[in-house]
Structure 1
Amino acid sequence: MLRKKIAQIEQNRASSDPLPKTTAPYASSTFYKLKNVPDKPKAKRWDDRFSVDSRNQNISPLKLASRVFNHPDMISLGVARPSAEYFPWESMDLFCTDSSSPGAKSPLESGLRMGCAKGEDDYDLGIAMNYGYSSGSPHLLRYLTEHTELLHNPPYQDWETVLSCGTTSAMEIAFRIFTNPGDTVLMDGYMYSGTLTAAQSQGLNALGIEMDEQGIIPEDLDHKLNTWDSKKGRKPFVLYTIPSGQNPTSTTQGFERRKEIYQLAEKHNLFILEDDPYFYFQMGKHTTDAPPADLDDYIKSLPVSYLSLDVSGRVLRMDTTSKILAPGLRCGWVTGSSQVIEKFICYSEVGVVCPSGPSQVMAYKLLDVKWGHEGFIRWLMNLSAEYRRRRDVLVAACEKHLPTEYCVWKVPEVGMFLWIDLDLSKSNPTINQVNGTEPWQKYLEIEGEIFNRAQENGVVVSKASWFIPDVKDLKQVSFRLTFAAAKEDALDKGMERFGQAVRSYFGKGQ
């Protein structure tokens, strides 16, 4: 099935116009989508939902001119882009590993070599190093558009993909498109702390939705919207969620759960910001069946995205290379309706503009020239297997070193995190009344004490209170641990040190 789809992509490329070779050419993913696809509905328009700020954002007239004129021998006397002949770099030489071997130490002589030089026919380094169009270079944009259609195939006509400078930047722009200061944004009950900070910096309020083992609970989302008090401001209509391998809890929304939430989005006219950096890390269950070794099986194991459920253009999906290639590329891609993507480009033009030229060269040469679509998916499948092994090491260390009478965890099947809850009932059944403090204050005290002891032991973990919109909603003591950062042979030692911190706390009779 995968190879059949890739063959369609190759046929589409062969029948399309060649990529432009001018500096900062206008590029749109509509140029690279499959043709002759079945009829699909058009996206809903969001004029009434755009923020005051975004309604005033328009495309620069200089950039707009590049869309209008398409002379085969255009001479530019209008835009002050520096001449590439004065750039001091003549070429780039890069080596990468084979897509089937994540983490392998390949000697330079046996690695896959990639190059980019000034004046080359494929991707002129002089063009890559100049100002670029905010949707991204045609080379990389074409590939990522194809990849998006291959895996998600949005079920409406006018969707587009553009490049971003990573999800943090994309999230900040998305908030600006849809929210005004003082608005409330709906979020997972526990949320990545960077998202909370970004919302607060724009004067936004974060409202957490209760979660279970599958993430956001639809009934709580519906209840909060049905009972919204208008005295708190206008009713929230932006839902920000990390649906797969959620950060920090590592929960994954199942297919039926996502359908329920999308139906609520239709009911309440919500716009969904789908931040999905852990989508590709499919690790499966602990100590059971082996992970997929077949590419078609791997693709079947991927969650159904909100983008692939979206029939009305109410989802902006954010992807990134940070977890699957390298964070330092500062390169990602977002997909949504043409109207929303147009606003996204407007903000990029007056902000980050686009990912750096060298980053786009590196990504294109690796993904398209060396690996291709099949190779990239093989890389993702094998990367999942690598993280599965790391996860299993950390889980085994939990079983070995943590006091199971106090520590409760569920083995994650997606993502990079292990979420550990502490059962305090066995140590102090009356904790809610201790010292006359509120429960959340006592939880903070215990959390801080264990965190400090862990640091003294030489291990860093993350407090649950860092990830909650309102710390007064803290209902238990929990910690987030990751198996992604430390060297694999240090995971057991790290968990031993954390276990000692937990044991020493409860050992003092608290």
Structure 2
Amino acid sequence: MAPPAAIEVEAVTDTTGVTVPNPLSAPIHSNEILGRRKKADKKQWGIAAPSDSKNFRLNNYEGKPKARRWDHYLSNEAKMRKGNSLKGAAKFLSKPGIISLGGGLPSSEYFPFEEVSMKVPSVGHFSEADTKDSGVTITAGKHDLVNDKSIFDISVAFNYGQGAGAAQLLRWITEHTELIHSPPYEDWRCTMTIGSTSGLDMALRMLTRPGDMMLSEAYTFSAAVETALPLGVRMAGVPVDAEGLIPSDMDSMLTNWDVNEKGGRKPHILYTVPTGQNPTGATQSASRRHALYAVCQKHDIVIIEDEPYYFLQMQPYTGPNSPDVPPPSSHQEFISNLVPSFLSMDTDGRVMRLDSFSKVISPGSRIGWITGSQQIIEIYQRHADCSTQSPSGMAQLLLFKLLDEHWGHAGYIDWLIHIRMEYTKRRDTILAACEKYLPKDIVSWNPPMAGMFHWMQIDFTQHPDYPAKSIETIEEEIFMQNIEQGALLMRGSWFYANAEDRHDTLFFRATYAAAPAEKIEEGIRRFGESIRKEFGLENGTNGIVIGKRKDRD
């Protein structure tokens, strides 16, 4: 590490630099990242150029602990993967004067794209209407790199690439990860994915074997269950409360694990969505995350931290008809008010964090990234090189032009603050509708702090036909009644981590992400009407429940 009096030369652009006093130990701010970049060799940006996210980190991590190694959990598949030898040869393409007759890289001469343009919001003017009227058109040309117009162009992005993704976007992703999470160990790395579901699939192939069980919330993302089951991996649901996973219950489950009773060895992976969890909407507090991390240390658990909703953390809910809470006054306030991630407290390298642009930019980009220890990331990249090959170059180019060249890190934080406030309005809309239209002696809920989902519990014991009708039958009848009323909400049973476990609760999940405010309100009104019909309640004026019930049969 350089002494305090040392100076370093850092890049302002990719070809020039300025002298900055000891930047490597200073806090990172969103508007300073460009000036703190290390000067890059132009060959770093070439076709299929290998890259290591270590080269894009802004701070010096000497003296910090190294990640633990996870050889004892690696699958045979992970141990056997040697990577793609042809992609390994790509490192020689940057040798000056080399004539390549080796790789099967098609010439960009035959790419039928001369340039690609898109109209995007200018910083601070993010609404759809503002973008239509005053948005900025940004353009990527075929040969911008060789013409020194940009470090990323069509000739590079639209050709084959590495499993880690293009260095140009990987640099931005690494900087963003460091800005938000600042992982506290030395050998952390980032690599791109084609989305978090694919990332989970590869993680399970790397770290599990058929017959294993994996911990998760008792109600969890259904696609995670459906990804795991064909690999022979079953979920072991941990009880949850309003803050998500309950650490004492997880500790007790692991301490008392009975292989014969459970039908699988003691789990060594926790899959969790800590923020705005799908489907419950629960957000783990900082203290809850620290307690869960301690349990994982005690039982040597690898944490797969799936965080597509991390930046959909909303303003505090202050109740119906309360004044709006103003937005964060600065980037630093926004970042410091985010619930700390597992990655930010991970001194062991036991966290494999899945990030995605799906919920904050667009799902169709099919680009996300993983942050983890060097060992895990290198194995993941070898897997990607022989399966997904690389994230879409077209999508990478569009995101690079938007995030790096147009918005920059500061503009992206402004965008995240914008969508934070927009989702807060949507959340408040659905909560106001629930207060207005739902019979609160039958339906209860906790206001979500983050994410896209509102989780409502139904007191099925008040159903006039209970217990003659089972929970499952009552859920089915409510669901179909809701369809008849013209609204679609998801049944809680579709999100069981393990359908074989006993469930004595009944939930429905609504989302406030997709529909405009008036349709959110109308959808909840129809849901309330379904509940009243099924439970034999009568309406008062304006659809408010009086509470009369029909007699039992």
TM-score tier (shorter): over 0.9
Question: Aligned pair 1:381/2:405, yes or no?
Answer: no
> Is the Cα–Cα contact under 8 Å of residues 215 and 270 in structure 2 kept in the other structure?
yes
Question: Aligned pair 1:420/2:456, yes or no?
Answer: yes
SS at match of 2:311: coil
1:175 to 204, 216, 225: 204
> Is the Cα–Cα contact under 8 Å of residues 119 and 131 in structure 2 kept in the other structure?
no
The residue aligned with 2:282 is 251
Aligned partners of 2:258, 2:62: CA distance in 1, in Å? 43
Letter in 1 for 2:313: Q
> Is the Cα–Cα contact under 8 Å of residues 184 and 206 in structure 1 kept in the other structure?
yes
1:192 to 198, 221, 242: 221
How big is each residue's C-alpha offset from its partner over 1:419-445, in whole Å with a ceiling of 9 and x where there is no partner? 1001234446x94xx23x7xxxx1111
Aligned partners of 2:266, 2:93: CA distance in 1, in Å? 44
> Is the Cα–Cα contact under 8 Å of residues 310 and 451 in structure 2 kept in the other structure?
yes
Cα shift at 1:473: 2.4
2:110 to 86, 91, 100: 86
Question: Aligned pair 1:75/2:103, yes or no?
Answer: no
Letter in 1 for 2:220: M
Aligned partners of 2:449, 2:315: CA distance in 1, in Å? 5
SS at match of 1:20: helix
Q: RMSD of the TM alignment (CA)?
A: 1.9
> Is the Cα–Cα contact under 8 Å of residues 101 and 379 in structure 1 kept in the other structure?
no
SS at match of 2:37: helix
How big is each residue's C-alpha offset from its partner over 1:458-483, in whole Å with a ceiling of 9 and x where there is no partner? 11001110001233422211101000
The residue aligned with 2:494 is 466
Cα shift at 1:7: 5.6
Same amino acid, percent of matched pairs: 38
Aligned partners of 1:150, 1:343: CA distance in 2, in Å? 25
The residue aligned with 2:434 is 398
How big is each residue's C-alpha offset from its partner over 1:369-424, in whole Å with a ceiling of 9 and x where there is no partner? 11000100110011010011011111111011111110101111111111100123
Letter in 1 for 2:275: S
1:296 to 311, 315, 332: 332
1:358 to 394, 418, 432: 394
The residue aligned with 1:268 is 299
Aligned partners of 2:331, 2:92: CA distance in 1, in Å? 42
The residue aligned with 2:540 is none
> Is the Cα–Cα contact under 8 Å of residues 222 and 264 in structure 1 kept in the other structure?
yes
Question: Aligned pair 1:61/2:79, yes or no?
Answer: no
Cα shift at 1:85: 0.5
The residue aligned with 2:539 is none
The residue aligned with 1:329 is 365
2:482 to 445, 454, 458: 454
**Residues paired across the two proteins, number:** 501
Cα shift at 1:284: 2.4
> Is the Cα–Cα contact under 8 Å of residues 30 and 331 in structure 2 kept in the other structure?
no
1:161 to 187, 190, 195: 190
Cα shift at 1:64: 2.2
Letter in 2 for 1:480: R
Cα shift at 1:175: 0.9
Aligned partners of 2:179, 2:256: CA distance in 1, in Å? 40
User: Structure 1 stretch 398-407 or stretch 279-288: which is displaced more?
Assistant: 279-288
User: Structure 1 stretch 101-110 or stretch 278-287: which is displaced more?
Assistant: 101-110
User: Structure 1 stretch 219-228 or stretch 18-27: which is displaced more?
Assistant: 18-27
Letter in 1 for 2:447: V
Aligned partners of 1:136, 1:74: CA distance in 2, in Å? 24
TM-score normalised per structure 1: 0.94
Letter in 2 for 1:254: S
Letter in 1 for 2:492: A
> Is the Cα–Cα contact under 8 Å of residues 249 and 417 in structure 1 kept in the other structure?
yes
The residue aligned with 1:203 is 232
Letter in 2 for 1:279: Y
Change (3 A) 1:203 1:384: same
Aligned partners of 1:161, 1:12: CA distance in 2, in Å? 19
Aligned partners of 2:456, 2:104: CA distance in 1, in Å? 55
Cα shift at 1:294: 2.5
Change (3 A) 1:509 1:111: farther
> Is the Cα–Cα contact under 8 Å of residues 357 and 367 in structure 2 kept in the other structure?
yes
SS at match of 1:334: strand
How big is each residue's C-alpha offset from its partner over 1:15-58, in whole Å with a ceiling of 9 and x where there is no partner? 44446242110111011012434521111111111012211112
> Is the Cα–Cα contact under 8 Å of residues 321 and 331 in structure 1 kept in the other structure?
yes
Question: Aligned pair 1:497/2:526, yes or no?
Answer: yes
Aligned partners of 1:426, 1:88: CA distance in 2, in Å? 65
SS at match of 1:44: coil
Aligned partners of 1:53, 1:479: CA distance in 2, in Å? 39
Question: Aligned pair 1:113/2:137, yes or no?
Answer: yes
User: Structure 1 stretch 174-183 or stretch 100-109: which is displaced more?
Assistant: 100-109
Change (3 A) 1:52 1:285: same
Change (3 A) 1:310 1:331: same
Question: Aligned pair 1:31/2:31, yes or no?
Answer: no
Aligned partners of 1:497, 1:165: CA distance in 2, in Å? 37
Letter in 2 for 1:263: A
The residue aligned with 1:307 is 343
Aligned partners of 1:36, 1:194: CA distance in 2, in Å? 38
Larger Rg: 2
The residue aligned with 2:5 is none
Cα shift at 1:137: 0.7
Aligned partners of 1:102, 1:135: CA distance in 2, in Å? 30
Letter in 1 for 2:266: K
> Is the Cα–Cα contact under 8 Å of residues 213 and 235 in structure 2 kept in the other structure?
yes
Letter in 2 for 1:241: T
Cα shift at 1:210: 0.5
Unaligned stretches of 5+ residues in structure 1: none
Cα shift at 1:230: 2.6
Letter in 2 for 1:75: I
Cα shift at 1:69: 7.2
Cα shift at 1:124: 2.0
Cα shift at 1:149: 0.3
Letter in 2 for 1:322: S
Aligned partners of 1:479, 1:447: CA distance in 2, in Å? 9
Change (3 A) 1:35 1:425: closer
The residue aligned with 1:144 is 173
Unaligned stretches of 5+ residues in structure 2: 1-25, 537-549
> Is the Cα–Cα contact under 8 Å of residues 282 and 301 in structure 1 kept in the other structure?
no
User: Structure 1 stretch 55-64 or stretch 198-207: which is displaced more?
Assistant: 55-64
Question: Aligned pair 1:278/2:306, yes or no?
Answer: no
Letter in 2 for 1:242: V
Aligned partners of 2:295, 2:93: CA distance in 1, in Å? 44
Cα shift at 1:336: 0.3
> Is the Cα–Cα contact under 8 Å of residues 45 and 167 in structure 2 kept in the other structure?
no
The residue aligned with 2:14 is none
Change (3 A) 1:102 1:461: farther
Letter in 2 for 1:475: D
